[in-house]
Structure 1
Amino acid sequence: MKASSKKYTLNFKVPSGTSRGVMTQKETWYIILKDANAFGIGECGILRGLSVDDLPDYEQQLAWACNNIHLGKDELLHHLRAYPSIQFGLEQALLSLQSKDPFELFPSDFTKKGSPIPINGLIWMGDEAYMLKQLEQKLKDGFGCIKMKIGAIDFEKEVSILKSIRKNFTPEEIELRVDANGAFSPEEAMEKLEKLSEFKIHSIEQPIKAGQWEEMAKLCKKTPLPIALDEELIGVFDVTQKEKLLQTIQPQYIILKPSLVGGIKGSQEWIDLAEKQSIGWWITSALESNIGLNAIAQYTYSLDTTMPQGLGTGSLFTNNIASPLEVAEGKLFYSRTNGWDMDLIQEICT
């Protein structure tokens, strides 16, 4: 078996804003495995500025993984525990190589019968007019769950957007989630949570910056709306430390981005620990191309969850790899009528 890697730069259709800045491009890496009669592909979806493995030796570690593919999955994953996106890329590539269909990693009704996964519609940060325009389109597209990124414009303007949604749609009609990406200070967070709770919001992701366990624990204990940890999970590799984090903070939810928390193995560890403590969870993509999104979606479906997931990012790029993944009526489908762009994949693999 031979292994190689290839860099690919994804271009956003529209600059996409978060509290960490505006993105126009997103680099990603593919691991390609070739055997006598088969090939496998997986995506290492590093997210610059957020991934714990955004390190100077990233390409060196990726090359090491390819040069030592003979060591086997367990040893490779152990060596790369500080590089979760490479771990996930390897997991995908090995599953892909072993599958009859290199793009069907978890055979299920999702891939075989068109059973969908409910997802949230994502509204990116921007000025008020831009956010309202996105909202209008998501509602037209049939989304019943809307996730709005907040923390970039004036808080009162963001509140006015939420207020206008609730004037027209009940919580039963539209589920609202907000993502602060750590934008609030601990001193102001509770006051803002109180204000947001007026709009019957499902949950808020990461209200304050990660790493403030005691402050986050206080918020989770007294919060008027459920809190979901996101960035808080990044960089926590040890199972004992994961358990300690959940026991200390006691959040209402955790959000898992496989590319940022160690792929399938890392995500499953978090899920098992969360369920022991009656903590809810859902899974979100992290701006991967359709190669990584496909793996995340198939893994998610295998977990048999009915909660809307965060898997609607595949349409953000001008040069994504065409695939069977399709979003319609607020759901993600694996449509057998659409195929993979094998010409582009062939180009990547050579």
Structure 2
Amino acid sequence: MIHFKYRPITLDFTFSAGTSRGVLRSKPSWVIILEIEGSLGIGECSLIPGLSPDNPGVIESKLENLRKNGVYRNKICRKETPALFFALEMAYKGLENRNPFLLFDNEFSKSRSALNINGLVWMSDAESMLAQAKEKASSGFNCIKFKVGALPFEQELKLLQEFRDSEFGVKMEIRLDANGAFTKSEALNKLEQLSRFNIHSIEQPIQPGQWPEMKRLCQESPIPVALDEELIGIQSKEDIQHLLDYIEPQYIILKPSLIGGFEVSDCFVEEAEKRNTGWWATSALESNIGLNAIAQWAASKNNDLPQGLGTGGLFHNNFESPLQVERGCLNYRPDASWADIETWIREK
């Protein structure tokens, strides 16, 4: 019989993390632990307030039900609670591999190769964002993503111009993430103005659920469009095919905690690659537990595009781990351990 327990944790940001949806200072996660015959499986249910489909109260209720009545994956509705489903998927994979932190056996998890990642510039005032971008560039990143949509648009244009004109910005690959901040009436005009900065792509320029308008942007925008929040709730193979065939995006962004785990992400990758649609994985602000799982999964796909997986340093109280960002790459250090999380689990 599999023994099940869980512990909630509030992850505290090292700074006020601004997006066009507001400012995050902390976020909830639950660590779940499966144990059978001395083997452990560990997963993380990570929520982003205001974005994740999972309701925190429902998560608590379902976790308590699993603790009392036994853990069965078929009791969890992936549509209703994709982050919880992913956490269980993560934990079972570690259990099956008899190593809670080795989910995918590949060159990354063996510390033989690194993952290329983008540096993320969080929303703040323009001066602070420019300083963030220059710091990321000087530390070795070749791709930087700016959050846009919260500042006055003219300030954002000036910020990008100043960065492009700097010694750091001349050859830098720039991505943008609007988090749906543009209205459908203004989006194309804004994308045309942004295009003069040689932008690689822009994530979710308008709010999800406006498929005809998003399709038009993908057809007419001078900047390639990447779907992000648009993928939430799309889980069956038929729905994935319909989304990609109708909107025809240039890129899709995969956040397993938001879309329902590895199996759904695998389907998105398979269908996207059939259509020559690019993709990369991004964390949903998981601790190092979830970040490790997503990084190992992404490494198994042999995708050379920079991944959005540089979020391990966001929290004061993250778990120590072998994950390390160095010169724009995520590495799995062979000389480090997961002793921090193992101690934390035993505390209660």
TM > 0.5: yes
Aligned position for 1:33: 34
What is the CA–CA distance in structure 1 between the aligned matches of 2:213 and 2:178, rounded to whole Å? Answer: 16
Range moving further from structure 2, 277-286 or 201-210: 277-286
Contact 1:53 1:84 in 2 (8 A): yes
What is the CA–CA distance in structure 1 between the aligned matches of 2:315 and 2:54, rounded to whole Å? Answer: 23
Match of 1:345 among 333, 342, 347: 342
Aligned position for 1:292: 290
Give runs of aligned pairs for residues 22-61 of structure 1, distance below 5 A: 22-54=23-55, 56-61=57-62
Range moving further from structure 2, 132-141 or 329-338: 132-141
In structure 2, what residue type is equivalent to 1:179? D
What is the CA–CA distance in structure 2 between the aligned matches of 1:93 and 1:251, rounded to whole Å? Answer: 32
Aligned position for 2:112: 114
Contact 2:78 2:260 in 1 (8 A): no
What is the CA–CA distance in structure 2 between the aligned matches of 1:172 and 1:95, rounded to whole Å? Answer: 43
Range moving further from structure 2, 199-208 or 54-63: 54-63
Contact 2:200 2:224 in 1 (8 A): yes
In structure 1, what residue type is equivalent to 2:59? Y
What is the CA–CA distance in structure 1 between the aligned matches of 2:58 and 2:100, rounded to whole Å? Answer: 29
Aligned position for 1:20: 21
**Cα offsets for 1:172-191 (capped at 9, x unmatched):** 82100000000000110010
Unpaired segments ≥5 residues, structure 2: none
TM-score by length of 2: 0.95
**Cα offsets for 1:197-238 (capped at 9, x unmatched):** 101100000000000001101111111110000000012233
Contact 1:47 1:54 in 2 (8 A): no
**Cα offsets for 1:258-282 (capped at 9, x unmatched):** 1001110111111112122221111
Contact 2:163 2:169 in 1 (8 A): no
Contact 1:11 1:24 in 2 (8 A): yes
The Cα shift of 1:125 comes to: 0.3
What is the CA–CA distance in structure 2 between the aligned matches of 1:170 and 1:327, rounded to whole Å? Answer: 19
**Cα offsets for 1:44-83 (capped at 9, x unmatched):** 1121210111364221123334455554x4x246x33321
Contact 1:204 1:225 in 2 (8 A): yes
Contact 1:82 1:237 in 2 (8 A): no
Q: 1:245 aligns to what SS in structure 2?
A: helix
What is the CA–CA distance in structure 2 between the aligned matches of 1:170 and 1:4, rounded to whole Å? Answer: 48
What is the CA–CA distance in structure 1 between the aligned matches of 2:65 and 2:198, rounded to whole Å? Answer: 49
What is the CA–CA distance in structure 1 between the aligned matches of 2:260 and 2:69, rounded to whole Å? Answer: 19
Contact 1:149 1:180 in 2 (8 A): yes
What is the CA–CA distance in structure 2 between the aligned matches of 1:109 and 1:80, rounded to whole Å? Answer: 30
What is the CA–CA distance in structure 1 between the aligned matches of 2:129 and 2:303, rounded to whole Å? Answer: 29
Check 1:179–1:4 CA distance in 2 against 1; reply closer, same or farther (3 A cut): same
Give runs of aligned pairs for residues 93-112 of structure 1, distance below 5 A: 93-112=91-110
Aligned position for 1:8: 9
What is the CA–CA distance in structure 1 between the aligned matches of 2:114 and 2:69, rounded to whole Å? Answer: 38
Contact 2:39 2:99 in 1 (8 A): no
Contact 2:227 2:252 in 1 (8 A): yes
**Cα offsets for 1:72-111 (capped at 9, x unmatched):** x4x246x333211011100111111122432111121112
Contact 1:171 1:200 in 2 (8 A): no
Match of 1:259 among 243, 247, 257: 257
What is the CA–CA distance in structure 2 between the aligned matches of 1:339 and 1:222, rounded to whole Å? Answer: 49
Aligned position for 1:326: 324
Contact 2:79 2:233 in 1 (8 A): no
In structure 2, what residue type is equivalent to 1:347? W
**Cα offsets for 1:134-169 (capped at 9, x unmatched):** 112101211000000001111111111111222236
Give runs of aligned pairs for residues 50-199 of structure 1, distance below 5 A: 50-54=51-55, 56-67=57-68, 69=70, 71=72, 73=73, 75-76=74-75, 79-168=77-166, 173-199=171-197
**Cα offsets for 1:12-46 (capped at 9, x unmatched):** 01110001111111110111011121111100112
What is the CA–CA distance in structure 2 between the aligned matches of 1:235 and 1:241, rounded to whole Å? Answer: 9
Tell me the C-alpha RMSD between the 2 structures.
1.7
The Cα shift of 1:3 comes to: 0.9
Match of 2:214 among 216, 223, 245: 216
Q: 2:65 aligns to what SS in structure 1?
A: helix
Q: 1:185 aligns to what SS in structure 2?
A: coil
What is the CA–CA distance in structure 2 between the aligned matches of 1:148 and 1:220, rounded to whole Å? Answer: 20
The Cα shift of 1:124 comes to: 0.2
What is the CA–CA distance in structure 1 between the aligned matches of 2:300 and 2:246, rounded to whole Å? Answer: 29
The Cα shift of 1:7 comes to: 0.4
Q: 1:198 aligns to what SS in structure 2?
A: helix
